[in-house]
């Protein structure tokens, strides 16, 4: 597994996601937003968290028009894997690789804390080390994570099983009370139609070491490393 972590001006979680991938056994290379091609042999393109272009205009809007994104779109169209975390998820939505948009959190607060997620499917390249219904403890750190799409798209996502994770409480109850940001149907992450693109607001790369309080994020990177 060769993963290319793309850095945009304002990305700040590129180092962490690279570390998580390496720990899981992946080979990690760097890519720059102004590049026109992904490094040769890239299996997985990673759009890390951060504040690309200072969140100017709309979160992810300007990054989604960067030269490297044409290469990411072509990679996805060939069936290549793409992972977007937090700002990376926002970039994927803005680029049209995933439907919908991440709007301002319903309560307007930037929320930075631990958050439980329920794994919605475990038969994908991203989640095969988890099991369906598993509750994982990761982190969230965002001001714009309120997933919104039109009703037809929501129906499509739900009926095609394209929700990857939902916000839940420690006991695994998915509810409005456990939803930190107002996301439709408590959605924390979504897949593309062919399940080769995943966008998620939470940060699994934060929870890969007992030293920082948990390792529930490892499953995602171990799934990918084995893909």
Partner 1 sequence: MKARVTVTLKQGVLDPQGKAIEGGLKSLGIEGIGAVRQGKVFDIEVESADKAKAESVLRDACERLLANTVIENYRIELAE
Catalytic (active site) residue 210:
no
Count of residues in contact with partner 1, rule CB under 8 A? 20
Binding to partner 1 by CB under 8 A, coded x per residue (else -) over 5-44, reads ----------------------------------------
Cβ-contact 81, 195 below 8 angstroms: no
By CB under 8 A, tell whether 111 contacts partner 1: no
Q: Which of 72, 126, 65, 102 is nearest to 180 (CA)?
A: 102
Which region among 31-39, 110-118, 147-155, 164-172 touches partner 1 (by CB under 8 A)?
Answer: 147-155
Q: Which of 11, 84, 23 is nearest to 52 (CA)?
A: 11
- Candidate residues 70, 150, 160, 194; the one interacting with partner 1 per rule CB under 8 A: 150
CB of 68 to partner 1, least distance (A): 17
Cβ-contact 1, 227 below 8 angstroms: yes
By CB under 8 A, tell whether 103 contacts partner 1: yes
User: Is the four-CA dihedral 63, 64, 66, 67 of positive or negative sign?
Assistant: positive
By CB under 8 A, tell whether 155 contacts partner 1: no
Catalytic (active site) residue 205:
yes
Q: Which of 59, 75, 86, 116 is catalytic?
A: 86
Which region among 18-26, 133-141, 143-151, 212-220 touches partner 1 (by CB under 8 A)?
Answer: 143-151
Strand partners, 83: 46, 198
Q: Structure tokens of 154? A: 């929501």
By CB under 8 A, tell whether 61 contacts partner 1: yes
Q: How far is CA 31 from CA 46, 105, 117, in A?
A: 9, 30, 30
CB of 17 to partner 1, least distance (A): 25
By CB under 8 A, tell whether 119 contacts partner 1: no
Helix (H, G, I), strand (E, B) or coil at 222: helix
Q: Structure tokens of 207? A: 């929870």
Q: How far apart are CA 139 and CA 211, in angstroms?
A: 15
Q: Of all residues in the chain, what percent are helix, strand and coil, respectively (each to 5)?
A: 30, 30, 40
Which region among 93-101, 110-118, 132-140, 213-221 touches partner 1 (by CB under 8 A)?
Answer: 93-101
Which one, 189 or 219, has the nearer CB to partner 1?
189
Catalytic (active site) residue 33:
no
Helix (H, G, I), strand (E, B) or coil at 138: strand
- Candidate residues 29, 106, 135, 227; the one interacting with partner 1 per rule CB under 8 A: 106
Residues that bind partner 1 (CB under 8 A): 57-58, 61-62, 65, 94, 99-101, 103-108, 146, 148-150, 182
């Amino acid at each position: 597994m060769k993963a290319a972590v793309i850095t945009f001006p304002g990305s700040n979680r590129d180092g962490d996601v690279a570390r998580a991938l390496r720990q899981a056994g992946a080979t990690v290379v760097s890519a720059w937003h102004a590049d026109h091609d992904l490094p040769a042999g890239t299996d997985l393109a990673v759009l890390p968290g951060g504040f690309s272009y200072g969140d100017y205009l709309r979160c992810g809007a300007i990054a989604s028009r960067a030269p490297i994104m044409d290469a990411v779109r072509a990679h996805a169209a060939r069936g290549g894997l793409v992972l977007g975390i937090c700002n990376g998820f926002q970039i994927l939505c803005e680029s049209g690789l995933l439907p919908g948009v991440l709007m301002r959190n319903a309560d307007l607060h930037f929320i930075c804390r631990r958050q439980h997620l329920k794994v919605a499917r475990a038969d994908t390249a991203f989640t095969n080390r988890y099991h369906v219904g598993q509750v994982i403890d990761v982190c969230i750190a965002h001001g714009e994570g309120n997933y919104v799409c039109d009703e037809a798209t929501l129906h499509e996502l739900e009926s095609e099983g394209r929700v990857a994770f939902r916000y839940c409480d420690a006991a695994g109850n998915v509810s409005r009370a456990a939803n930190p940001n107002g996301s439709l149907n408590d959605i924390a992450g979504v897949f593309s139609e062919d399940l080769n693109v995943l966008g998620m607001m939470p940060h699994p790369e934060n929870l890969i070491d007992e030293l920082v309080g948990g390792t529930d994020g490892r499953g995602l990177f171990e799934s990918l490393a084995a893909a």
